Every structure is written in structure tokens, then in C-alpha cells.
Amino acid sequence: MKKYIILFFTLILFSNCQKNSIDDLHAQNQSVADSNKVIEPLDFYPEINKMVTRILSRYHYKKIDLNDSLSSVIFDNYIEALDYNKSYFLKSDLDEFEKYRFEFDEDLYLGKLMPAYRIFNVYKTRMNERIDYVLKNLDKEPDFTIDETIKVDREKEPWANSVEELNEIWRKKLKNEALNLKLSGKEWDKTKETLVKRYKNYHKAILQYKSEDVLQLYLNSFADAVDPHSNYLAPRTSENFNIRMKLSLEGIGATLRTDNDFTKVVNIVPGGPAFKADNIHEEDLITGVGQGNEEIVDVIGWRIDDVVDLIRGDKGTTVRLTILRADKGIDSKPDTISIVRDKVKLEEQAAQKKIITIRENDTDFKIGVIEIPSFYVDFEARRNGETDYRSTTRDVRKIIAELEEEKVDGVIVDLRNNGGGALDEAVELTGLFIEDGPVVQVRQSNGDIAVEKDPDPSIAYKGPLAVVINRYSASASEIFSGAIQDYGRGVILGEQSYGKGTVQNLIDLARFVPSAGDQSGQLKLTIAKYYRINGSSTQNLGVIPDVAFPSAVDPNEYGESSIPSALKWDQIQTSQFKKYGDLSSIFPSLIAKHQERILKEPEFNYLMQDIEEYKENKNKTEFSLNENIRKKERDESEEKRKLRDEERKKFETIEIIDKKEVTKKTLKEEDPFLEESGHVLVDLLLSQS
């Protein structure tokens, strides 16, 4: 189980208004009371537990045997979900919990929740103890001249044997956080103030854990042991999920995930507020969130759902973020940016086009690029019988017609970071590039196989075609790119895709647990599996590109294949289909030219250097807590970036816009992968001429 998959806790934020002394005393007394409060399951939770267990056991695609072996996995999932970095529990706690390891299977069938709640209450106690330790040990500035190191990632480390051993772990943790702040330019007084606020806010979050949070965490430890896409959604989480599915979320338009104690930007939604502001980018780390002109709240160490709640807000309001730039490191001084919230509208996530020029053999080739952020359809408009409803296929059909009017020499379909969407749209979009035939096979849990076919025998575009994917391309993106590859219709470029080849159904538990009513939540259940027309599943394996680009993403660390409980790859019979062509004989030449080209390109050299540096840092297990050593490492990194920027300036061009000099970036600088995709497509075009 990965660190960023799991926790769904509720956080209620308190304002920073001044309180009088009576209020302060009351709040302090209430805080102590809440700290000592034992969380217990509500009366109807056993019924929810039994129903979730029954449905997962009987109707999940993978026929599971809820036995001692799976119970052990659930136990490990639950402990890891609470304390993945082994920073709170003691070894004696784990020794005490071991009696439950082979009992969770029976507990789930019987709706017996107390063991899970007992473990959680010990966890809550240990967290309160850690907060107390932190607040008592920030009086004196650490000595940053001592040569000692810290292991930031403790996932594979042993549990602490004693409180004293755990205190030493936390002494170094606090020292590391203080050193990061000092290297970013903060004096000790400000550093101390920041850390005190950080952990007091964190403590408030602990005090707001509710019984439904524990139930969700426990049931998801079970669901995640079965497969990563089946989840129990407590009422609050269910509401957030439904908001996201309606595409009406008012926020900044970014996909986030937890990376150790930081919130990392995974993807910027095209057309959204963050995309328009252009002041936050993929891989940046969010360290603080503020509303309008209010004080920014430090969110290091927060749960991802709680950070999202802070960032979300009404349309037209402003959110301020402090961010650490991806290319500068965690020791750098954070930037503060502002983004005006807005609805991430369907039109702004729609397919977009542009034309790029690729020069090869002293000839300019016009290449049309179709960017598809998601596979969307306006279901409501279609249900209402509106003839002009928006969909991916309809929009792309129009774009193709426009590109052909521009007499482009070839087309690139850009599916990078496209996490999927409507299955029908993936099927119909494929149909724009082939005459007819099957596109994807869907196998139900009972073994029945349905073949989804291209519904339109016409072809919208017959010319040279390339499809670009990356590790974040999933589901419907894999159906489309896999079909294009199987038909020999075009060349697939980029990275191995995510590998999500499963189908989920959302079940409202209210009708099964009437005693819980609207407090029963929902269950997202895996019910089917996708297979390519050649019989190969996209599950776990994804789509392998014909021409692979350099990548910093290790498939063993991100994607379906990195998750132990993910359904495995398998194969069924091939569908009956007629290949459009066979490009396999051309691929060796395309690969050789691609590799020769990127070795000469400065941007790809920089990229490959970054990848090697990333891999080195990723494998680094210990970090110095000596200020001079860390400062030297940071300065060397900054000097490297400075030299690179100076080298880049040699290739920059200056334009005069409104009587001002404006630096114009080349496509090579802005998106070297897209430009290289254009070169590969031109190579394909020339090989077929």
C-alpha cells in the first residue's frame, strides 16, 4: 500500500481570531477533554461493516476467500495506514496488536469493530504524546554544526523499542524541519513560530477525528487488500467524490497527492484556474494555504483530503499558496502565489488543437496536435435530447476537419496525464481513425465477455498518426491507444501507461442498511475488467509505447504494477479484427533516429541529467543535519541550475511586443516531448512516402 493512497480524515479549521482569557481557558480544557476522549463505533456501524464485507466477498470481480491469510494483509494495511513511517507506535504496541492479526476476517463477517477502534485509540494517544514532545522541545535552537544524519523515510525501519528511542527519532525530525526553514531564510524565532503553529494545527486535526473516519479507514484496509479501486466512502468522502464526478468542483483545477509530509501537484487541469494563472506546475510542493488576505496555514504533514478542503472554495474567491518549486528542492525559499477560484468547466477540459512546425531534411512539416485532457460527454444534455451536446468524439471530429483544411502533414493525439473517463467516448474516438471493428472487450466477473465495437463505418482521418502517452495516462486512454496500436493505425510514443484496466460501480448502501439512512455511505466496487482486442488486458501492464521516451517515473513506484493488491495481467481470446496496417518493420528505424536525435538535443540532455539526479536522490536514505553540508549541497544544485539557464539563453529569441522585449521560448524548451513526437511522426511519414 502506498503512502498517498489511504487516509480520509475530517479536519475542522479554527479561525485565528483573538480570544479572551475565559475562552482560552475553556478551549484549553476542551482540548484536554478531546485528547482523552475514546472514539467508539456508532450503533449502526456493525451493520454497515457486515454489508460491505458481504458485497466485497460475493460480488467483487476477484473471487476472494476472506481467511487468515487475507486477515494478515488487512491488519498490515490498517497499521500502515495509521503509521506508515513508524513514527508513533512503539514495538510494545505492535506486540499487543498481534493478537488481532488473524482475527480481522472473522471480525468483518460478524461486524465486530472494537479491535480496530482499540488500535486507533492507542494511535491517537501516541499522536498526542508526540505533539506534547514537540511543543516542549522547541525552546532551544538545535545545534546545526553537529555531524549527524536522519532517515526521512522510515517505512522499512524497525519500530522504536522505547519512548526514549522514539524521542530521538522525533528530535532529528524536528531538527530537519528547522534546518529546512533556516536554509529557506527564516531566523530561529520565525522558525520556532512556524513549527509551533504547524504542530498545533496538526493537533487540532487529531482532536477532530470522528467515528466515521475510523470505520472508513478500517473498511478501506479491507477493500485495499482486495484491489486498490474498491473503496468504502463514508458520507463526507462520498459527497466529495460525487462533486468531483459532476465536474463542478470550484477550486484551482489541479490533481494533488501526498508525498511524504508534502502535498505534491500531480497534474494541472487544462483550462482551469491554475492553468490560466500559470504560476504553479506539476511536481511543485504545496506547504501552506491561505484564504484571501488571511494568514497562510502551514499544511506540511496534513492529510490530502484536508488540504483539498482548504484549497476548495467559492467561485471568485482567492486562495493563496506557499509552494516549493520542483526544480529547487525542499531547502529553498518558498514562493507565495495567488489563484482566483473558479469552476473547472467542461468546455475548458475539452479537446484542444494547435499546429506545430517540424523541420526535417530542410523541409517544414505541419503537424496537427489534438490535446485530450479527459474522455468527457455531457450526459445531461444527451439525455435531454439536445443535438449539439459536447463530447470528446464530437469535438475531435470538428478539430480533425479544421486540421485537414489547414493541410497538416500528420496528426498527434496527446493523451498525457489523461486519466480516462467515459468508455463510450474511447470507443467512438477510436472509430474516427478506423473503418469498423471491435475496440475493447469487457469481461464480467461471471466470465461473460462483451465486445464494444466502432459504431460508425466512416473514417474522419486517414493520414499519419501518433499517440503520446505517459505514466499518468489511464483507463479510457489505454483503451484508445491500445486499439490504435493493435490495428497498426499509428505509432504509440512516450512512457508505459498507468495500467488501470478495471471497471467500478458505485453502490449506495442506504438501501441495504436502512437503519443508517444517509449515514451509510457508498461502496465503489470493481465489477469487470478491460481487455484489448488482441486479448491482452490493459490491467497492471498498461500500454507499452512503440518508441519509448526518457522517464523519471519508475513503474515499480507509481502505477498499477506498484500496488500489491492490484489485479494481475492476464489474457483472453483475441477478437476478430482486420489490421489497418503493420508498422512493426519501421519501428527499429524510428527508435534509432529518436535515440540519435535526443543525444544531440540540450533539453533532452538536461532531462536525462535530471532523471539521473532524481534517481540518486530517491535512493538516498540518509540526509545530513549539518547546516554547512546541506547548504553546500543546495548551493551546488542552484549553481547547476544557473549554468543551465545561462546555456539556454544562447538559444532564446527576443520579440518586441507593445514596445517591450519579450523572451520567446521554443517548442523545444516548452515541451521537448511534444517536439520529439513531431520528429518521430515525420520519420514515420517519410518512411511511408
- Please report the DSSP string for 138-166 in residue order: -SS---TTS--EE-S--TTSPPBSSHHHH
Q: What confidence category does residue 303 fall into, taking pLDDT thresholds of 50, 70 and 90?
A: confident
Active site residue 475: yes
The three cell numbers of residue 365 are 512539416
AA letter at 533: I
Estimate the crossing angle of helix 188-207 against helix 163-183, to 10 degrees.
Answer: 130
The residue among 240 and 329 whose pLDDT is bigger is: 329
Estimate the crossing angle of helix 21-36 against helix 188-207, to 10 degrees.
Answer: 60
Q: What confidence category does residue 669 fall into, taking pLDDT thresholds of 50, 70 and 90?
A: confident
- Give which of 45, 113, 129, 119 is closest to 76, Cα–Cα: 119
What are the distances in angstroms from CA 480 to CA 114, 119, 418, 542?
47, 45, 11, 12
The pLDDT of residue 283: 82
pLDDT digits (tens, 9 = 90+) for 589-619: 999 999 999 998 888 888 888 778 777 777 7
CA–CA separation, 481 and 416 (whole Å): 11
CA–CA separation, 254 and 284 (whole Å): 11
Residue 435: partners with Cβ closer than 8 Å, 6 or more residues away: 454, 457, 458, 459
pLDDT digits (tens, 9 = 90+) for 564-576: 999 999 999 999 9
The pLDDT of residue 241: 56
pLDDT of 586 > 70? The answer is yes
Rg, the chain, Cα only: 27
The pLDDT of residue 298: 86
Give bridge partners of residue 243 from the DSSP assignment: none
CA–CA separation, 280 and 289 (whole Å): 13
The residue among 581 and 247 whose pLDDT is bigger is: 581
- What proportion of the chain, given as a percentage, has pLDDT over 70? 89
Query: Which H or E run includes 129?
Result: helix 114-136
Min mean pLDDT across 229-233, 483-487, 665-669 is at 665-669
Active site residue 248: no
* CATH of region 347-502+528-582: 3.90.226.10
CA–CA separation, 359 and 682 (whole Å): 9
Whether 466 and 684 have beta carbons less than 8 Å apart is answered as: yes
The pLDDT of residue 329: 67
Q: What are phi and psi of 103, to 5 degrees?
A: -110, -15
The pLDDT of residue 95: 98
Query: How high does pLDDT run on average in the chain?
Result: 86
pLDDT of 16 > 60? The answer is no
SS3 452: strand
The pLDDT of residue 48: 96
Domain at 248-343: CATH architecture: Roll (2.30)
Burial profile 447-468: b = 16 or more Cβ within 10 angstroms, e = fewer? eeeeebbbeeeebbbebbbbbb
In this structure, the dihedral spanned by the alpha carbons of residues 104, 108, 109 and 112, taken in order and rounded to 10 degrees, is 90
Whether 594 and 672 have beta carbons less than 8 Å apart is answered as: no
- Give which of 194, 172, 171 is closest to 182, Cα–Cα: 194
Q: Domain residues of the chain, as ranges? A: 21-226, 248-343, 347-502+528-582, 598-688
How do beta strands 285-291 and 262-268 pair? antiparallel
Whether 593 and 683 have beta carbons less than 8 Å apart is answered as: yes
SS3 49: helix
**Stated pTM of the model:** 0.82
The pLDDT of residue 608: 83
* Catalytic position from the list 500, 536, 537, 683: 500
What are the distances in angstroms from CA 290 to CA 201, 287, 323, 339, 584?
14, 11, 12, 11, 53
Q: What are phi and psi of 298, to 5 degrees?
A: -70, 125
CA–CA separation, 131 and 87 (whole Å): 12
Whether 338 and 363 have beta carbons less than 8 Å apart is answered as: no
Mean pLDDT, range 250-263, rounded to an integer: 78
The three cell numbers of residue 376 are 468527457
Active site residue 486: yes
CA–CA separation, 370 and 432 (whole Å): 13
The three cell numbers of residue 238 are 462520498
E strand residue ranges, 549-685: 623-624, 653-657, 660-664
Mean pLDDT, range 655-665, rounded to an integer: 49
What are the distances in angstroms from CA 394 to CA 391, 445, 679?
5, 33, 28
- Please report the DSSP string for 363-411 in residue order: EEEEEEEEE-S-B-B-HHHHHTT-TT--BHHHHHHHHHHHHHHTT-SEE
What are the distances in angstroms from CA 324 to CA 120, 198, 293, 498?
33, 17, 20, 26
Other Cβ atoms less than 10 A from the Cβ of 102: the count is: 14
The three cell numbers of residue 255 are 490533481
Whether 427 and 476 have beta carbons less than 8 Å apart is answered as: no
Q: Note the Cα 178 to chain centre separation in Å.
A: 28
CA–CA separation, 334 and 262 (whole Å): 13
